Structures are given as C-alpha cells and as structure tokens.
Amino acid sequence: EAGVAQSPRYKIIEKRQSVAFWCNPISGHATLYWYQQILGQGPKLLIQFQNNGVVDDSQLPKDRFSAERLKGVDSTLKIQPAKLEDSAVYLCASSRRYGYTFGSGTRLTVV
Amino acid sequence: GQQLNQSPQSMFIQEGEDVSMNCTSSSIFNTWLWYKQDPGEGPVLLIALYKAGELTSNGRLTAQFGITRKDSFLNISASIPSDVGIYFCAGQLLNYQLIWGAGTKLIIKP
C-alpha cells in the first residue's frame, strides 16, 4: 500500500509569515494525526482527527495553528503567523487502530 | 501529563555488539510500540506489543511488554551499521494516542 504522503519536504520562511503543510493518509485510515517534532525530542501531538472530526486538539496553539481534514481524507496544517520557535519537523501519521504509519515530514525553518 | 522515561539517551557501540534499551512509565499502557527514526524521515514502526508479558521478535530485534504494563525493553542483537538511528518507545492509550519517550540515539563506533 502507498504510504503517508506529505508536502513540501522543506520550507524556510521568515517569522510572521504564513505556511501550510499538506498530508494524504493511507487509503482507508480513518484516524489522522499531526505531530510537531523539535530537534532532539520525541514527537508531540498537535491534533487528532477521526474521519473529518477533531478528536483532540488540546495541544494545538490555536492562536496561530489551524488544521482541517476535508471529506475525511487529506488534511492541511497552517501556521499564521509563524514564530522562531515553530522551527521543527511536522509529521503526519494515519492509522486504523494500533500503531501509526508516519509520513516523511515537513522540515520547517523560521528565520 | 503522562511521560515515558527512556534510557539510555545515547549509546556508542561496536558493530556486532548487542544493544538494550528500555522505557518505564508511572502509568499503565495497553499497547507498547517501538519505532526507529532515520535522519530526515518519519518514525517507522518496528515492533508492537499488545499483552503484558508478551515477547516479540522482528529479525534481530526483540521487545517485551513488561508484566506490570508499565515498562518495555528493546534488544538488538549483533548490531550492524544500518541500525544507527534514534529509537523511540511509545505507549498507546485507549483513545489510540501515543505517549512518547525522548528517544535513544544509537551510534556505531567505526
């Protein structure tokens, strides 16, 4: 089966600019996750979708981050405006039940 | 919030040596997962453990789900250069969310 697709792979923006990431999960996986991984740390959950509904967004900085999953398939994560501390790898993952399959991530650098 | 204590933080080993790392938690998990992350890639699932006491192998990798459901270990036998990377443990909650360890960085000495 095809894996989790993410784009872009890399993005460099200036602080206060906006950025969007895209994720296409594995076909048939109802659950989709966005994680933020800062260098040297484990992934931190930002938001969890079940189909097109939000299950948990308690750790999403909602003043600047937003995410949507239209039609329960693809998802986008947006940051507006970006801060220096948002520099990280943003990972998308999908699952049926146990264990996740991760995409390769988008490495964001905010300068 | 819930946290996993993963150790060691990093390991320097010779090729051919066996490797052991572990994770402990103050909370009980129903599922333990071990992932490996290579530079520039997302984590890849190595082994999933679903029952307390379960011992599961995947090639040269062996992992166990602790009997108390609060710990797990991962062993790698006869390490090879491609084993280099960061290994993460994760405990899965009933809502399928994962609680992650901080990772063990494996480095093979030339």
Express each pLDDT in B23-80 by its tens digit.
999 989 989 999 999 988 899 999 999 999 999 999 999 999 999 999 999 999 999 9
pLDDT of residue B1: 56
User: Where does the pLDDT of residue A49 fall: very low under 50, low under 70, confident under 90, or very high at 90 and above?
Assistant: very high
Q: Which of A5, A38, A58 is nearest to B95 (CA)?
A: A58
Give the span between the Cα atoms of B99 and A42, in whole angstroms.
Answer: 9
pLDDT higher than 70, residue B2? no
From A105-109, B40-44, B92-96, B103-107, the region with the lowest mean pLDDT: B92-96
CB-closest option in A40, A42, A104 to B42: A104
With an 8 Å Cβ cutoff, are B42 and A97 in contact?
A: no
Average pLDDT value for residue range B96-103: 88
**Does B85 touch chain A if contact means CB atoms closer than 8 Å?**
no
With an 8 Å Cβ cutoff, are A99 and B42 in contact?
A: no
Q: How far off is chain A from B40, nearest CA to CA, in Å? A: 7
In this predicted model, what pLDDT tens digit does every residue of A67-99 receive, in sequence order? Answer: 999 888 999 999 999 999 999 999 999 988 767
Give the span between the Cα atoms of A97 and B48, in whole angstroms.
Answer: 12
pLDDT of residue B60: 97
* Peptide bond between residue B8 and the one before it cis (omega within 30 degrees of 0): yes
Q: Which of residues 5-34 of A touch B (CB under 8 A)?
A: 31
Exposure string over A52-61, b if 16+ CB within 10 A, otherwise e: eeeeebeebe
The one-character DSSP state at A58 is: T
**Does A56 touch chain B if contact means CB atoms closer than 8 Å?**
yes
| DSSP letters spanning B30-63 | SEEEEEEE-TTS--EEEEEE-STT-EEEETTEEE
**Does B28 touch chain A if contact means CB atoms closer than 8 Å?**
no
pLDDT of residue A1: 64
Whether B88 contacts B100, CB under 8 Å: yes
Across chain A, what does the average pLDDT equal?
Answer: 93
Q: Could you tell me the sign of the dihedral formed by the alpha carbons of B18, B24, B29, B35, in that order?
A: negative
Average pLDDT value for residue range A11-26: 97
pLDDT of residue B40: 84
Cα torsion A8, A66, A98, B99 to 10°: value is 100
